[in-house]
Amino acid sequence: MANGHPLTNVQQRDINAVLHPYTPLHKLAETGPLVMGHGKGVYLYDTQGKEYIEGMSGLWCAGLGFGDEEMIEAANEQMRTLPYYHLFGGKGMEPATELAEKLKEIAPVPISKVFYTSSGSEANDTQVKLAWYYNNALGRPEKKKIISRVKAYHGVTVMAASLTGLPGNHKGWDLPVDRVLHTDCPHYYRFGQEGESEAEFVARLAKSLKDMIEREGPETIAAFIAEPVMGAGGVIVPPAGYFAAIEPILREHDILIIADEVINGFGRTGNWWGSQSVGMTPTTISAAKQLTAAYAPLGAVLVPEDIYQAYVDHSAQLGTFGHGFTYGGHPVGCALGVKAIEIYQRRNIVEYVRGLTPTFEARLAKIKDHPLVGEVRSCGLVGAVEMVADKNTKRPFDPAHGVGSNLAKFLEGHGAILRALGDTIAFCPPMVITGDELNELFNRFELALADTE
């Protein structure tokens, strides 16, 4: 039985055979998996035929929605021409070349080379290895620590999960590993002190970062990694001036600035890159997710020329550049990346997202009046509603009695999918959603909110 109903055959088979990621495994048999059958546009249909508006683009990635015929055709064509090859040992493939050229063209800072991975976690893991390789190349073997932030999300490999600043990714997994530090989260609503202005909050965080660097020794710190707008930590938009305040401190100590654009990239925040929306100037960039609009797995690391030259020098000493994934630069993924960017450009997705942003903001603002809503926040078409036990004091729910997962369940009942990050509900609809569909998503959310009262 699941929620009082007998499990369907496919639900039972799923429970018998699949180990589900990010799932309370002990409750799965009780709730039953929600098994999706097919998707079209911003709508998904489960195997029972029930319709859902997908309000999270899957996992912040299906920016073009489902069933885009041009994407399907691009994949088919590449499958027929060359379904697989690799880039090891100096091999090449046209789709990998073309996508790298396109990424260089649209990158927010001058980029020389693109390294391909299969996922965002692998991109961030690669970033760390590259920062280490770079400092070894420069004869600075002690400059290896990476500063990340509380509430950051950078993935699940051993290093990416260590960079992540969420307790659930560390507890039970013997993480974080050494060489990883976490500085403050720039969430003013949660971490601003009594009577502190936003500007004072930013100054305090910058001072705290500076103190950390001095305490650890700048000669031991290789890089700082940040999502321009934090995603899985609760869609946290930094206060104005945050990156402008911290970047000079990092640059002064020759610390690389890594932008994790895995969620933010490709129009999501109303610019091509989240770093452009929040005034961040990165040294290197991680991309994934909307890179292919999730029609195939693909990640990328974008590096500038001077850093690339250090790899060249080091590989000359060592004999090779000893890093690469079997599927890094997969031709189908790259062909889909090329097609996705072409579609974003042709449909002017950045302008389209900007056009929808006032509706998105207005509907979030309306929810803010609810007695259980502490804060609403957004940047472009990514946003969140933070639910609290006490609106006046901002007191969060006791984790054992939070409302987030119930709310997400009620929402499924009303035919919409959003993600509960604890008691913060994230919104990240496909960027191609229409104004009417966006309003319908919020209508369904309001019904679910009424159910929690």
Tell me, rounded to whole angstroms, the distance of Cα 60 from its chain centroid. 7
Q: Does 262 bind ligand PLP (CB under 6 A)?
A: yes
Question: Considering the complex, what minimum distance in angstroms separates the CB of residue 267 from ligand PLP?
Answer: 16
**Which pair of structure tokens corresponds to residue 431?**
């960027």
Under a CB-based contact definition with an 8 Å cutoff, are residues 281 and 102 in contact? no
Contact letters for ligand PLP, residues 272-301 (x by CB under 6 A): ----------------x-------------
Under a CB-based contact definition with an 8 Å cutoff, are residues 175 and 226 in contact? no
Smaller CB distance to ligand PLP: residue 160 or 202? 160
Rounded Cα–Cα distance for residues 437 and 439 (Å): 5
Question: Considering the complex, what minimum distance in angstroms separates the CB of residue 12 from ligand PLP?
Answer: 28
Residue 275 identity (one-letter amino acid):
S
122, with CB counted inside 10 A (0-12, 13-18, 19+), is: buried
Strands across the sheet containing 373-379: 373-379, 382-387, 424-427, 419-421
Q: Does 378 bind ligand PLP (CB under 6 A)?
A: no
- Cross-strand pairs, 149: 183
Q: Which of 11, 78, 121, 135 touches ligand PLP (CB under 6 A)?
A: 121
Question: Considering the complex, what minimum distance in angstroms separates the CB of residue 141 from ligand PLP?
Answer: 27
Stretch that binds ligand PLP, among 31-39, 119-127, 174-182, 218-226 (CB under 6 A): 119-127
Q: Which of 166, 213, 223, 263 touches ligand PLP (CB under 6 A)?
A: 263
Rounded Cα–Cα distance for residues 47 and 57 (Å): 19
* Chain position carrying tokens 């997908």: 54
HSE-CB for 105 with a 13 A CA cutoff:
10
Question: Considering the complex, what minimum distance in angstroms separates the CB of residue 291 from ligand PLP?
Answer: 10
Do the strands 416-417 and 382-387 form a parallel or antiparallel pair, or are they unpaired? unpaired
Stretch that binds ligand PLP, among 88-96, 150-158, 267-275, 393-401 (CB under 6 A): 150-158
Size of the residue set binding ligand PLP (CB under 6 A): 16
Stretch that binds ligand PLP, among 102-110, 120-128, 181-189, 373-381 (CB under 6 A): 120-128
Under a CB-based contact definition with an 8 Å cutoff, are residues 404 and 420 in contact? yes
Question: Binding to ligand PLP (CB under 6 A): which residues in 220-239?
Answer: 227, 231-232
Question: Considering the complex, what minimum distance in angstroms separates the CB of residue 405 from ligand PLP?
Answer: 18
Q: How many residues are given for the chain?
A: 453
Q: Which of 33, 58, 63, 120 touches ligand PLP (CB under 6 A)?
A: 120
* CA separation, residue 420 to residues 55, 371, 403, 424, 444 (Å): 12, 18, 9, 6, 15
54 Rama class: left (phi>0) / alpha (psi -120 to 50) / beta: beta
Q: Does 419 bind ligand PLP (CB under 6 A)?
A: no
Question: Considering the complex, what minimum distance in angstroms separates the CB of residue 73 from ligand PLP?
Answer: 25
Smaller CB distance to ligand PLP: residue 260 or 423? 260
* Chain position carrying tokens 């007191």: 395
Q: Does 15 bind ligand PLP (CB under 6 A)?
A: no
Q: Does 106 bind ligand PLP (CB under 6 A)?
A: no
* Chain position carrying tokens 């957004």: 378
Smaller CB distance to ligand PLP: residue 68 or 125? 125
Stretch that binds ligand PLP, among 31-39, 149-157, 233-241, 333-341 (CB under 6 A): 149-157
**Which pair of structure tokens corresponds to residue 248?**
């000079």
Q: Does 124 bind ligand PLP (CB under 6 A)?
A: yes
Stretch that binds ligand PLP, among 5-13, 114-122, 168-176, 432-440 (CB under 6 A): 114-122
Rounded Cα–Cα distance for residues 92 and 103 (Å): 17
Q: Does 153 bind ligand PLP (CB under 6 A)?
A: yes
Q: Interface with ligand PLP by CB under 6 A: which residues?
A: 59-60, 119-121, 124, 153-155, 227, 231-232, 260, 262-263, 288
